[in-house]
Amino acid sequence: MFKVKFADIGEGLTEGKVAEVLVKLGQEIKEGDALFFVETDKVNSEIPAPVGGKIANILISQGQEIKVGDVVIEIDDGKGVAEVTPVAEIKTKNEPVEENASVVGSTPVSNDVIASRATASTKNEISNSGVKATPLARKVAADKKIDLSTIKGTGPHGRILVSDLDSTPVVSSNSATKPAASKTVEIDAPLSWDSIPMNGIRKATVKAMVKSHSENAAFTGMKNINITPTYEMRAMLKDGCESKGIKLTYLAFIVKAAAKVLEEMPNINVRIDTENNAILQVHNINIGIAVDTEKGLMVPVIKGANHLTIFEIANKIGELAKKARDGKLAMTEMKDATFTVSNFGSVGLDYATPIINSPESAILGVGTMTKTPVFVKDEIKAGWIMPFSMTCDHRIIDGGDAGRFLMKVENYLSNPALLLM
């Protein structure tokens, strides 16, 4: 009997919510088949079966909150005697289970069945029949009076998840009776506001930022870098890359430069072990890239960036950024970063004080590139300047090391041919 546990599939992840159970009792499955769909603070994902066999026990139901380490499903993999024993209904801790949603040990009810059994809606009610959504999302939508046809689902095949509803304002039950807003503005009116629930990504951001500020002794160093040679090389390579389907961005050059400098300065690619009073120099160079999405900031990770070419990095940036914005990142694509690059220049900022993504110890921020006069061998020429901001944990990284890091990055961006070697 193989006991499937909810594994630690993301840094800092401790729990998730079962959006849908995808198997039934007694079902024959193969290794890799999807068992259930889980929503977490970081991403939403199908959880695959680690072994093949017959589903012998289902210990979860739609809407249930599960923690890392919980046994969720038992599979008879032929390596022991197993009895198929239905488990009693497990009630959700925080969320109500939809009336027609399956209980553990029962056959799951499809969305079509749920829709066809729904009671006829009145004139003032919203009908969500015919829309792909998990049973729990359908229940929450009914409670909030949300029209699911207006929601873009981020689950498999466009299915709507509970997390897709998090930022949708609740419709008050007496909203239909409220009078139309007066055209006269009352200057001395009492404070009023709309309450917008935080989505999972925002909740995770709050937790991570508070942790970073409370644990790190952060400082930020800033430097303007003349990247004119990189500008010229990108212009020379851009058309050829596009013909091969590669979108060559400046960020690809910056990530490659950072990866090479981290190889040369392993004292930046570190974590702190406070329990043992030790500094951990990480062997891997995995660079996270902060991506601004409609639901909040997400940080997918380019694994082994030091072993990739600029063109491979450019492809990876495009692929991961699209997945982040579409809500389709796998949990493995968001873990194990050792250093982060944040391009806040894409939203118009020149300088900022980026916050360290714990347990990393440094983050490199990139500002808006500006065309400006620069000196080249005592002559003034038009050039391109890009501002960099580097935040480090001063407990284990000194200001001198941060300065040397930025100078080395400058050397590579001033001589980009070195990045192609």
Out of 157, 213, 307, 394, the active site residue is: 394
Distance CA 183, CA 389 (A): 47
Query: Does residue 196 surpass a pLDDT of 80?
Result: yes
Asked if the model's pLDDT at residue 86 lies above 50, the reply is no
Beta-strand ranges (E) seen in 51-187 are: 53-58, 65-67, 71-76
Residue 332 clears pLDDT 90, i.e. is over it: no
Q: What is the mean pLDDT of residues 202-226?
A: 87
For the chain, the 3-state helix, strand and coil shares in percent, each to the nearest 5, are 30, 25, 45
Residue 179, pLDDT score = 52
* pLDDT exceeds cutoff 60 at 98: no
From 196-210, 328-342, 392-406, the region with the lowest mean pLDDT = 196-210
Tell which of 40, 58, 76 closes a domain: 76
- Asked if the structure places residue 115 within a domain, the reply is no
How much is the pLDDT for 130? 67
How many domains is the chain partitioned into structurally?
A: 2
Q: pLDDT confidence of 211, banded at 50, 70, 90?
A: confident
- Identify whether 190 is part of a domain: no
pLDDT mean over 162-190: 63
Domain for residue 96, yes or no? no
Domain final residue pick, 38, 59, 76: 76
Does 93 have pLDDT greater than 60? Answer: no
Q: Is residue 93 situated within a structural domain?
A: no
394 is catalytic: yes
The mean pLDDT of the chain is 81
Per-residue pLDDT averaged across 227-240, rounded?
94
The pLDDT assigned to 139 comes to 72
334: domain CATH number is 3.30.559.10
pLDDT at 175: 47
pLDDT in tens, 295-311: 788 899 999 999 999 99
Q: Which of 72, 63, 125, 123 shows the shortest CA–CA distance to 91?
A: 63
pLDDT band for position 102 (cuts 50, 70, 90): very low
334 three-class SS:
helix
- 95 pLDDT higher than 60: no
Task: Read off the pLDDT band of 156 (50, 70, 90).
Answer: low
So what's the pLDDT on residue 167? Answer: 61
Q: Are 70 and 5 in contact (CB under 8 A)?
A: yes
116 vs 126 pLDDT, higher one: 126
HEC string of 227-266 equals: CHHHHHHHHHHHHHHHHCCCCCCHHHHHHHHHHHHHHHCC
168 is a domain residue: no
Q: Which domain-ending residue is among 76, 108, 132? A: 76
Rounded to whole angstroms, the Cα distance separating 391 from 154 reads: 33
User: Which of 8-12, 68-72, 78-82, 219-223: highest mean pLDDT?
Assistant: 219-223
CB atoms within 10 A of CB 98: 19
Which comes out higher in pLDDT, residue 202 or 300?
Answer: 300
The pairing of beta strand 339-343 with beta strand 362-366: parallel
Distance CA 34, CA 393 (A): 41
Structural domain range at position 31: 2-76
Task: Please indicate, yes or no, if residue 160 is contained in any of the structural domains.
Answer: no
| CATH code (residue 55) | 2.40.50.100
CA proximity to 152, closest of 132, 135, 171, 169? 132
Q: Hey, which of 22-31, 33-42, 301-310 has the most confident mean pLDDT?
A: 301-310
Is 401 domain-assigned? yes
Q: Is residue 326 part of a domain?
A: yes
Res. 106 pLDDT band, cuts 50 70 90: very low
